[in-house]
Chain A
């Protein structure tokens, strides 16, 4: 057998193909509805999940416990032993003050933990040693900043920390601080502005300040769920059970320790006494020494004086000596020059003598020479004579040598010859000798002349020598004299230096005298000090003795330490996170329902129309013998397919995008949420899809039912035309008569198609309402600053004073404010952070006491939000801000408590509840404050107002003036707070955009759908109008009139609906710290209306083309 597509099935597919618009419109509206429903519903668990995964990853603690006496290592171990506790870890924390250029901040310093509350470093590194810290990355610290800390109390920082300055080495965030809030503190202005994380060893404390616990099995549970809370409460109760015992142990320890300390103190006192005595003795001895030294010094000084006098005398005599020496030198110089003159004369004589002599000498020498030559010639002759003599003597000698014998004849001859010869020689010799003596006389004469000459020369030479000697003598004398001036100068210099030395010595001497005088004074002081010290030491000893005594007495008074055990809600913003998630849930339960309702109604109209259109076809099928089920199945299938398709699309897109956007929007508040988890929440998906399927199926069955029960014959005939009906308005003749016929028809039409009427009104109203909520949210949030500071708190700024401010300082500040010309008024106030308790509910609030109750209405206006009835503060009770009272669940006339862990809670009566938007306040009169606290309020701040035309700059100028004064701690301005608020509310913008877009989508789908159906139903009527000669525009007008009317009716409904929805949503989304306005401003109404009308016009524009396409031939056809 050939397999063929069943005709019914084919018909089914053809149906979808033929009318994709209808199919898609159902699909789309279902998708929208399901997406909104499941998406917004899923946001709640998704937000919790995102938070929980962060808490688990950072190993956030489950329970925190602390006691008034700190937590010992033993306590930590004991806690860990508790059943259900997985881990216990001790930690330190403390609050300090940090002075910046213009204000004082409170800094919360915590120790880094190894196992819990893991910190994420966003920049820089982990601190590794004491002195380093990881700073809060919201606080504006930079790496490398040095933060000097002050304790803010009488105890020094070193009591707690090893170092009082911390260097920022990294920035990061802690899971303990989810958002911007940093909690409160007991020092400074009471609100912590930043935290610092330091290595554990930075703390120098004996005991931990707190212990953190992790609960077994809690990590597997989703935070903020009941399962988690129950588990924690179970373990928390067990932990609380052991705190009693721990407290006892701790008390005993402290008593023991104290006893030991007292003993030690006693010992120390004894030692101190001895030491003090010794010290005093030393001091006395020292004073004596000093006195002696002083006397010695005086003696030395006198010596010095004498020495100086001596030296002065010496110097004066030396000067005299020097002066004589100088005179001698002058005379010596004179002599020298005289000697030189004489010498010059002698020299001149000598020169002339010498010249004469030289001339004589030459003549004498020539004579002498001539004499010598004569002598020489005489000598020659003499010598010759002497030579002849010698020859004759020779001949004699020869003849005597060879004498002949005396008998020899010749003898007589020879003798005769010899005798002769001898005679001759004799003779010659005589002559010669005569001559010789003449010669000798000549020679002598010559020699004498020569000697005379020599003698003259020698005389000259002697004179010369004498002259030379005189010269030498003169030179020596000159040389000697030339050295004298230098000597004289150096002598003078020596004398001068002698003087200056003398003067210096004299000055020394004088200063020495002064010193002595000083030392004498010091000595006197020292003596006085000594006396005082002695007295003081005695007093101290007495005090110490008293203290010890007191301590001994106190020992018996030591109370049990108080233990506090908290769960995670003690963390700042933790509960807020959970509440925000819950709020989302609340929105998710209401908001999407609107969408869902519209979606269901849309599918109902679409399916009804479809079934009606196919009346004939249904009749034919019936006539052919198809069962009701088989016929209905086509429509059911059609609706089912569209719905399931739409649901799938809606779930897939809606559950991813919407929670992401919403959690992301909250991420502006919870900045450190590392990841946004948006898993599919199948329960919501199934819930939404199931509801969608149910609605459309139900609508379809209802539509089919009527047709299916009819007889086929009836079905194949055209339906009886619907009867025109008079409407209520016709009774008002005046109005009715003035309407033209198209208007009449329009109005009757509206009344006739009731389903469409309500659907459209609901759709447009819903759209309008959503937009109104969107814009209204913005109004409510942005308005609060204006309302708060224009209608409730009129002051423009406040000056906070130092905790230890004196009366004079306060007056000075007041006077400064009085002198500022822009300041119109000011008032003393006491501002304190307190915690209000009503039953189990707790809220932090500011307690305010104003110094002057009469002037108070100029600063704060107390009135009821709704009735605007004004209240005045009385001494019978307090006025509490509205939101505070609401959160506490308290009403006028109720009594609530102010938490005081040390002295017990204090009861206050709420006399009135006043309108207030920002923060929580509880207002006292000074008298009532005194009644409650038992002490007068200390005014720690001054509120002031400025002239209206005073700019913020001028105001800051005033602040600067005030801050210069001692005693002024900080100044805050309301315009700063307004700005902060704006930042905080930015996160809402995204939600508002989502609302407006979805509202637009809703409006579009609804209007499009309804108009399409409307036109399809009235094709014939419209065609007739065309045949009658209505222009396209007029035909369109005929239809538009209805739309416009419906749009405005819808808008009116939307205004009402929007008001309620807005109120509901405001109440669910508003944060605890502020009350949002309940107002929607006129522009928001206008914007919403314009947008709604705009959407409506857009649809009308689209419809125009549909209308234009209507064929006039339709009018000729028989009625189907």
Chain B
């Protein structure tokens, strides 16, 4: 049975002059709706390629990428943009907030272009930044910035929340808090979350763990009883 997100034999080949680099050499996996999926693997394994393709930032050279039944692998640039704006929430490793806009405004910036947005203030309250709406990114800590980033992604009411090493630039505790926020969001709102990380230690908190090595899926583990983040130590 196909999942909510389904990659079928996805290949990505970069041509660098005469050399062909196989970034993804046939990746297959499915993620069900409302699942918290973690894609793990060492650097250069093809995680980012998966993220790019899934996030609509890049196209697969070969294979099918089905999201909610639609094959985005065949999308045009324009369709991809629409896909990004309506279906995807993106959480960056370095938050990528617009420095000139306040926390709230950063959220609203994303809402401005989307079809069925949530209320920005509410989302900010949800991510625990009800008090810091009017602060500029530079006035916020890394964790807070990441929360804004998550709020920005959630407020769009996306089908899929894509997180690229969301804790990569954060300290341990903050990272944990962020992971907690993501997990809670998944649980409480039924949001499908795909988290990409090199940190295998957080695998137990996921519903599904997809390990990638050398451009292929090396294993997929379904976790029937994911644990809460607080219980995980690394």
Contacts and interface: CB of A to CB of B under 8 A. Distances in A.
Interface in A731-779: 740-742, 744-745, 748-749, 752
Given A722-B138, A724-B136, A1116-B48, A742 B90 contact: no
B100 A1029 contact: no
Nearest to B48: A1116
A723 B138 contact: yes
A1028 B101 contact: no
B150 interface: no
A775 B105 CA distance: 44
B78 A721 contact: no
Contacts, number: 94
Interface stretch (A705-713, A1000-1008, A1019-1027, A1085-1093): A1019-1027
B172 to A, nearest CB: 19
B98 A745 contact: yes
A445 B52 CA distance: 205
Interface stretch (B80-88, B202-210, B223-231): B80-88
Given A742-B112, A1027-B55, A724 B94 contact: no
Contacts of B98: 745, 1021, 1024-1025
Contact of A1029 (B48, B58, B82, B138): B82
A1119 B136 CA distance: 18
Nearest to B137: A724
A1112 B99 contact: no
A740 B86 CA distance: 19
B154 to A, nearest CB: 13
Given A745-B100, A1113-B57, A1116-B48, A1027 B90 contact: yes
Contacts of A1031: 78, 81, 85
B30 interface: no
B113 A1024 contact: no
A1026 B57 CA distance: 9
Contacts of B139: 723-724
A1034 interface: yes
B80 to A, nearest CB: 9
Interface in B114-166: 114, 136-139, 152, 164
A933 interface: no
Interface string A50-94: 000000000000000000000000000000000000000000000
A742 B81 contact: no
B99 A724 contact: yes
Given A724-B136, A741-B109, A1112-B57, A1028 B90 contact: yes
B35 interface: no
A752 B92 contact: no
A1118 interface: yes
Nearest to A747: B100
Contacts of B138: 721-724
B137 A721 contact: yes
Given A742-B109, A1118-B94, A1119-B94, A1027 B136 contact: no
Contact of B84 (A744, A1028, A1113): A1028
A1115 B92 contact: yes
A158 to B, nearest CB: 93
A949 B176 CA distance: 91
Contact of A1028 (B100, B105, B113, B137): B113
Interface string B53-80: 0010110000000000000000000100
Given A1029-B88, A1115-B92, A721 B82 contact: no
A411 interface: no
Given A748-B101, A1113-B57, A1115-B96, A1029 B85 contact: yes
A1030 interface: yes
Given A1112-B57, A1116-B164, A724 B85 contact: no
Nearest to B107: A741
B110 interface: yes
A731 to B, nearest CB: 13
A22 B107 CA distance: 36
Given A1027-B57, A1029-B88, A1112-B57, A745 B109 contact: yes
Given A725-B136, A1021-B96, 6 more contacts: A723-B138, A742-B112, A1027-B84, A1030-B113, A1031-B81, A1113-B52
Interface of A: 721-725, 740-742, 744-745, 748-749, 752, 1020-1021, 1024-1032, 1034, 1112-1113, 1115-1116, 1118-1119
22 contacts: A721-B99, A721-B137, A724-B137, A724-B138, A724-B139, A741-B108, A742-B112, A745-B101, A745-B109, A1021-B99, A1024-B96, A1025-B98, A1028-B84, A1028-B85, A1028-B109, A1028-B110, A1029-B84, A1029-B86, A1029-B88, A1030-B81, A1030-B85, A1116-B93
